[in-house]
Amino acid sequence: MLIKRQTDIVPSEITPRALFDSRRDFIRAAGLGVGAALLGAGLSGEARAAGYGGQSLGLLLKSPLSTDEKLNDYKDITSYCNFYEFGTDKSDPSRNAHRMSTRPWTVSIEGMVQKPKTLAIEDVLKLAPLEERIYRLRCVEAWSMVVPWVGLPLSALLKQVEPLGGAKYVEFTTLADPKTMPGVRSAVLDWPYVEGLRIDEAMHPLTLLAVGLYGEVLPNQNGAPMRLVVPWKYGFKSAKSIVKIRFTDKEPVSSWTRAAAREYGFYSNVNPEVDHPRWSQARERRIGEFTKRKTLMFNGYGEQVASLYAGMDLKKQF
């Protein structure tokens, strides 16, 4: 299904989710004999929206920054996730994330700012009108999706605290609750998960604070109640379930850089010419497609963001 930007229908109103569900029902009803019988309930488990996911967010603005590419299914987006706090398997987050409580939720903004603040999620939602942004998402593992996020520009939140002149970077810290997040109990990464952006990257119009998906509240496994979406960088830069934002004059060390500095740099811009030390980044598999496609520089957002990196050697500052 190709969704043209010109239509008046918000893509979520013609969501493939319903189509997809009915297709599955059909397949199930048709039954495939031995094959179906062999497969236990384990493999047929469906991803359900965890937490408040699934509640409608009402009318949304459409954004000229959206792509008109074919959307990935709701089920794929919510069942194929990297969210190591809930386990390292792609299916772990959709199984475990329902235990996380996203209300009440506050985010504190601190560090080199005039007015440090702690905001409740309800207040964050009122900072700017919510808009639908359909972005490509490119994972560092060489797969990609097209996701209809709902959110507001991150800059709307950051402007609230009036950053000081000396601040150069923004550091994001996400929830690490061993009681509700089984992955946090193992030392796979240095918890809590930390990510960072340069201020100009954080304030860029493309940088989104996402609170929803497919016109509905963000499911827990996708980073509820609020997460970053930085579409020109590898997915892991887009920190989920954010609890703290700190302005600083030093480049933050992200969790993945701390784990393997040779493999995951501070910038982590999507770049087909800079391979991961262990695999190629030249191509990617769009989830739902059979053959791989070429990866685009800055994930296809070069026109908007290339100027941020003018004069930098992106092979060295990867």
Partner 1 sequence: MRERAFSPDRVQFAWIWRAVWAACLLPLMLLVAGGLRDALGANPIEHITRATGDWTLRLLLLTLAVTPLRQLTGWHWLVRLRRTLGLYAFFYGSLHLATYVWLDQFFDWPGIVADIVKRPFVTLGFAAFVLMLPLAITSTNGMIRRLGGRSWQRLHRAVYAVGVLGVAHYWWLVKKDLTEPIAYAFVLATLFALRLWHGRRMRRTLEAQAA
Binding site for partner 1 (CB under 8 A): 24, 27-28, 32, 34-36, 38-39, 43-44, 72-73, 75-76, 79-80, 84, 88, 90-91, 141, 143, 188-189, 259-260, 278-280, 285, 287-288, 290-292
Closest approach of partner 1 to the CB of residue 50, in Å? 17
Closest approach of partner 1 to the CB of residue 189, in Å? 7
Report the distance separating Cα 318 and Cα 315, nearest Å.
6
Closest approach of partner 1 to the CB of residue 147, in Å? 12
CA distances from 28 to 33, 37, 73, 76 (A): 10, 11, 18, 18
Closest to partner 1 by CB, 179 vs 258, is: 258
Closest to partner 1 by CB, 1 vs 38, is: 38
Q: Which helix (H) or strand (E) holds 245?
A: strand 242-248
Closest approach of partner 1 to the CB of residue 142, in Å? 10
Q: Which two tokens stand for residue 117?
A: 């603040």
Closest to partner 1 by CB, 89 vs 249, is: 89
Q: What is the DSSP string of 98-157?
A: GGS--SS-EEEEEESBSS-EEEEHHHHTTSS--EEEEEEEE-TTSEEEEEEEEEEEHHHH
Closest to partner 1 by CB, 5 vs 70, is: 70
Closest approach of partner 1 to the CB of residue 292, in Å? 7
Closest approach of partner 1 to the CB of residue 136, in Å? 16
Report the distance separating Cα 234 and Cα 265, nearest Å.
11
Closest to partner 1 by CB, 99 vs 285, is: 285
Closest to partner 1 by CB, 174 vs 207, is: 174
Report the distance separating Cα 122 and Cα 104, nearest Å.
9
Residue of 180, 140, 169 lying closest to 264 (CA atoms): 140
Report the distance separating Cα 15 and Cα 260, nearest Å.
39
